[in-house]
Amino acid sequence: MTARARAWLLLFVMTGAAAQTPSPSNGANPVPFDTPGAASVPVLPSIAPPGPVSPTTIPTPTSGRASRPAPAVVLPASGALYVQRATQFATRCAQLNGLSLPAQSIGLPTRGAQIDSAAIVAATAPGNQNGEFCRITGSIRTIKPNTPDIHFDLNLPRRWNERALQIGGGGYNGVVVSGTGVMPFSPFRAPLGQGYATFGDDSGHVGTPALAVFGLIDEAVINFGYAHLKKTHDAALSLIQLVYGRAPEHMYFAGGSTGGREGYTVVQRFPDDYDGVIADSPALNFSGVRLFGVRIGQAEYASPGGFVPPALLERVYQRTLDVCDRLDGAADGIISDVSSCRAHEAEVIDPLRCPARARSDAPAPDTDACLTDAQLSTLVALRDGLNLPYRLAWDVHGYRGYNVFQGTRFTGMLGLAHDPARPPPVPTFVPNGYLYAQGDGYVRYFVTHDAGFDTMRFNVQRPGKYQAQLVALSGTIGAMNPDVSHFIARGGKLITLHGLADEVISPNTTIDYYNTLLTLYGFDTVNQFMRLYMVPGFQHGNGVFIPSVDLLGALDNWVTHGVSPETLVAADIAPPTNGRTRPLCRYPLFPRYVGKGSINQASSFRCDESPTP
């Protein structure tokens, strides 16, 4: 697996951080600390670590769109002045050690923040490809003593491009996002290396993206749901203003999966704080996908014969390719025309059905060779999604299903269960399925507050005494609110990329949300602020086509210069087909082969709309 392919998985499953890969920068031109505009930055006011600082010495966070004074005109720095200003930057960085930020500098209730460390990372430091920067770690103190603090990292480059980027997490978070590596939305060079001030956090608990134990602590749940985003943003913005003497010209957010949900969360809850957002594969309906995961686990393990072995799942996938691969004009291993493929579903399923047994005492079919009725029921449940008799927050009544018979592969580490035996008390990803394992933790810790609860007996349709908690959670952790009018009004921009073959977060939920926006605001308004790219063959960070495309550059160009992104070109970083390209089409369009030219070149495809509604 390539480094950039690993970055997708790290973003979605682990954290927003990723390994660094050298490549030329194509981002905005950095403004070094020792150039015009930086020379006039005032000396840090009376910082004497480790003692606390008076609130009057801490800048009040301002919007990322705040106007800035014109930079002073100064002569180019001489060698001696260059060294002097580099030393000044290092001094300011070191002075942050032990600094306390007062609670009033953060827009939501906290007990303030503490800088745990601040040190210069030299441009020549081993493994550093980002130039010289100040690396800051800090803790935002929670209100209740039994609630874990929010831990964050902030990276301030000496050659700053006057932009800041907050980076989202993955899964249940629990790991601080470092913000120092390349990202799937910035694959050619790390944003930090391009001059962005970058920051991220652990959302207010220490663990892994698979652990939901913190769901027992109410304040930690609120932090995970939305509050950590605002708290970390405000703390980071205070520090940025303190070091550089001014707010960023533009503030961005970017993330995928949980980080994608976080992107939509800031659009809906904190629209004044961001000029642009990248929200990929967003877990918009977080409660819905967790409940659905429990329902699928029950179909596999609580329903007799419902387990579908990986070998049979692979047969379903290969049959789908046989039927639908050429619908887009090219036999390239990618099902691009998903809508047309739905009309061929019977052609996929019928040859895979087990033959009817003529006698009741006939031998049971080989369950690895054909689909029994029970196994097909599991897959149909996965396709149909969840329809609830009660309403979650924002009038949500369920969860949309997956493209099971249109090219989604459920055999990987994020797919369905691999082990036919009833799961242990704590199910895990590969043996018991990602959807079920994550849903199980959600129900036990967030919903029932009972670590020993058996989710095999949880009634998703009629949760009884747990229904009120489910509804409340869906409002705390979720981004299905269609009211984005404030973000639109102030000129914010939003880019979302989602794989049509995603096996973790249903792409159909993202499409439904987009269609809701079209209904509420009309195409012209949505077109002014949002771009949706649905990618054929792309799963949840993996797949037969893994797109590598500079969405951060596209977002910055849109925000800064008003150049709206249209059809983009994505390079495939899936190892077997690394290097082929495809047009990245705006939804509802998809890449169709024009009938001539190499099928490995984007120029041989055009963006087309499916004839099937």
Could you say which residues of the chain have pLDDT below 50?
A: 13-29, 31-58, 63-77, 358-361
pLDDT for 233 equals 98
CA–CA gap between residue 521 and residue 512 (Å, rounded):
14
pLDDT tens per residue, range 193-208: 999 999 999 999 999 8
Catalytic residue among 419, 502, 550, 572: 502
Among residues 100, 238, 257, 548, the one annotated as catalytic is: 257
CA gap 158, 189 in Å, rounded: 17
- Of the listed 273, 540, 550, 572, which one is catalytic? 540
The SS3 assignment for 385 reads coil
Q: How far is CA 9 from the centre of its chain?
A: 10
Count CB neighbours of 401 within 10 A. Answer: 18
Say whether 502 is catalytic. Answer: yes
Note the pLDDT of residue 209: 84
Cis, bond preceding 588 (omega within 30 deg of 0): yes
* Tokens 């009884």, located at residue: 464
CB atoms within 10 A of CB 72: 10
Return the pLDDT at 365: 60
Interatomic CA distance for residues 448 and 509, integer angstroms: 26
**Reported pTM:** 0.89
Strand ordering across the sheet containing 547-548 = 547-548, 568-572, 581-584
CA distance 299 to 441: 17
The whole-number pLDDT of residue 87 equals 82
3-state secondary structure of 591: strand
What lies within 8 Å, CB to CB, of 6 at 6+ separation is: 18, 19
Q: Do β-strands 547-548 and 398-399 pair in parallel, antiparallel, or remain unpaired?
A: unpaired
Centroid of chain to Cα 599: 30
Quick one: pLDDT at residue 271? 98
**What are the tokens at 48?**
């004497």
CA 509 to chain centre: 15
